[in-house]
Structure 1
Amino acid sequence: MKSIIALCALVAVVVARPEETYNPNYDSFNAKELVGNIRLLKNYGKCFLDRGPCTPEGSDFKKTIPEALKTSCAKCTPKQRELIRTVVEGFKQKLPEIWADLVKAHDPEGKYKESFDAFLNSK
């Protein structure tokens, strides 16, 4: 009986645990400003591709990209989802060659394309 109570308590703790998300420090990052500045957007793209230096924010974003892609941003807060959609659309529209290079670097076999596209299109 004691083991059943202990098991129920453990299940309750696991179920009640808040879902793990990425660090919300950059939830106020101005993605629209980034996308509106082609030079800055290009520099972030170079950072993400290891072709140029990174800002502290760029370094942090770069660490998150592979997992966010593989999980369709499962650990993202709603604000982070919005920011990612804005930046990805910026790359696709304004710097498609860098977007293509990012896709090749992080999903060369296209394993995550369908699920990531579904994430991008779900608003």
Structure 2
Amino acid sequence: MNKLIILSLCVLVVITTLDAAATKFTTKYDNVNLDEILANDRLFTNYVNCVLEKGKCTQDGEELKKALPEAIKNECAGCSDKQKEGAKKVMKFLHNNKPAVYEEMLNKFDPDGSYREKYKKESEEFFKN
């Protein structure tokens, strides 16, 4: 009986570990120069059009578009520290410099406003700084 319990616990640990690993986002694009993209209207527009499904995607754009819903849903739990910092940078840039794009992104990824409501206090503090 003890062997069965130990085996069950081992299987549970392996499944949990595999599941945690599966929810991590790839880090192969972590060295993309976000400042360059945000400063270049052509690059910026291409990424926006990709994410909003209005244009073609590069390989990294496709990966971003695929990851965004999960990252938003789970508070970027699968993001690396560099990805979290990049997300903050992009959010502030959109909010402060491209409000129409920011609003379009909100409407696409939070159509019912549930995330906006959930993070209202945090976002007010975030955008104040």
TM-score clears 0.5: yes
Give the Cα separation in 2 of the matches to 1:117 and 1:50: 30
CA distance in 2, matches of 1:60, 1:93: 25
1:25 is paired with a residue of what secondary structure?
coil
TM-score between the two structures when normalised by the length of structure 1? 0.81
Find the counterpart in structure 2 of residue 30 from structure 1: 33
SS state at 2:7 partner:
helix
**Cross-structure match for 2:8:** 7
Partners of 1:117 and 1:40 lie apart in 2 by: 32
**1:116 and 1:82, CA in 2 relative to 1: closer, same or farther beyond 3 A?**
farther
Q: CA deviation at 1:115?
A: 3.5
Alignment partner of 1:92 is 2:105:
no
Shift of residue 77, structure 1, vs aligned partner: 0.8
Is residue 41–residue 91 contact of structure 1 (8 Å, CA) maintained in 2?
no
Q: How far off its partner does 1:53 sit?
A: 2.0
Residue in structure 2 matched with residue 49 of structure 1 by the alignment: 52
Q: Can you give the 5+ residue segments of structure 1 that lack an aligned partner in the other structure? A: none
Q: Percent identity?
A: 31
Q: What per-residue deviation string (whole Å, max 9, x for no partner) do you get for residues 14-40 of structure 1?
A: 56x374210111111111211122332
Q: CA RMSD in A?
A: 2.5
SS in 1 for 2:114: coil
Aligned position for 1:70: 73
Q: TM-score, normalised by structure 2?
A: 0.78
Query: Which structure has more RCO (C-alpha within 8 Å, separation ≥ 6)?
Result: 1
Q: 1:8 to 1:47 in 2, by over 3 A?
A: closer
Deviation at 1:7, TM superposition (A): 2.9
1:98 deviates by 1.0
Judge conservation of contact 1:35–1:41 (CA < 8 Å) in 2.
yes
The count of aligned residue pairs is: 120
